[in-house]
Amino acid sequence: MSLLRARGLQRHFGGIAAVDGVDFDLEKGEIHGLIGPNGAGKTTFVSLLSGRIAPQEGRITLEGEDITALPAHARVRRGLGYTFQITAIFPGLSVFDNVALAVQGGRGRGDLKALVARALAQVGLEALRDEEAGTLSYGHLRLLELAMGLALQPKVLILDEPTQGLAAGEIAGFIQLVRGLTPEVSVLLIEHNMAVVMELAQRITVLNFGRVLAQGSPAEIRANKAVQEAYLGA
Ligand SMILES: Nc1ncnc2c1ncn2[C@@H]1O[C@H](COP(=O)(O)OP(=O)(O)OP(=O)(O)O)[C@@H](O)[C@H]1O
């Protein structure tokens, strides 16, 4: 049984089929890349998974349970984390308190201080725990967002454009970090930086015009003619 499963997902906006009958499986412990040209439907698909918008057709299950009708916060409590869209950083609060607030607003199970400390250690921000979030560099802010998501102990973590705006050195560190999260956390990675996807993902799903164009290993996706054409035509 796959951890997160979508069947026949559909979402139209007026005449535009943003997501048009997508089947998708995230297996336990994997890093799964989601790519596609601009407007392919990636953001809409992820919004359907996280519960930010509702599908017109189709079903989503998490560990075999139907979550299609659950609101976003209930999905977070069940272990579906969507770090970069649902968390808000308070610049006047410390790094530690920002993570603590995220835990209290989310699933909030277990010892709060221990959860926060563990999440900060996972992303390497322990030394900055007492700094005001507003004083952090952009790269550190992205790590703080990740810590806020991790502190909720997700089973699935959806990372939407996590390396956008990061410097090359920061991207290398980020790749190591994400790899270290698995197999405990399974990751769906939406990423425009193809080198990052190819290096991190065990499997890749390619969307084009709201449909699954291809699915396979990085090597298979790289060699796929339809994928090459979709990107050249974009
Ligand atoms: N709220 C909306 N109202 C109308 N059309 C929308 C809406 N959201 C998305 N679309 C359209 O649906 C299609 C898919 O958009 P989506 O943002 O999901 O693609 P994407 O793959 O995430 O693109 P990008 O890589 O540029 O972020 C596009 O044609 C877009 O214009």
Note whether residue 153 is domain-resident: no
In a domain, 57, yes or no: yes
Q: Report pLDDT for 85.
A: 46
Give the number of domains in the chain: 1
**Numbers of helices and strands, H then E, in the chain:** 10, 10
CATH number, domain of 7, equals: 3.40.50.300
DSSP for 63-131, written as a single string:
TTEE-TTS-HHHHHHTTEE-HHHH----TTSBHHHHHHHHHHHS---S-HHHHHHHHHHHHT-GGGTTS
- Residue 74 domain-assigned (yes or no): yes
Give me the pLDDT at residue 86, please: 43
182 belongs to a structural domain: no
Whether residue 18 is contained in a domain is answered as yes
Taking only the tens place, the pLDDT of each residue in 199-233 is 999 999 999 999 999 999 999 999 999 999 998 76
Q: Quote the distance between the C-alpha of residue 77 and its chain's center.
A: 16
For ligand 1, atom 17, the nearest C-alpha belongs to: 43
Q: Is residue 131 part of a domain?
A: no
196: containing domain: 1-79+158-164+190-234
**Atom 13 of ligand 1: nearest residue by CA position:** 18
Cis peptide before 183 (omega within 30 of 0): yes
Pick from 16, 34, 205 the residue to mutate for probing ligand 1's pocket: most ligand atoms within 8 Å of its CB: 16
Q: How far is the centre of ligand 1, averaged over its atoms, from the C-alpha of 184 (Å)?
A: 31
Q: Express each pLDDT in 113-135 by its tens digit.
A: 999 999 999 999 999 999 999 99
ipTM of the complex: 0.95
Question: Is 109 within the bounds of a domain?
Answer: no
In a domain, 181, yes or no: no
Q: Is there an atom of ligand 1 within 6 Å of 18 CB?
A: yes
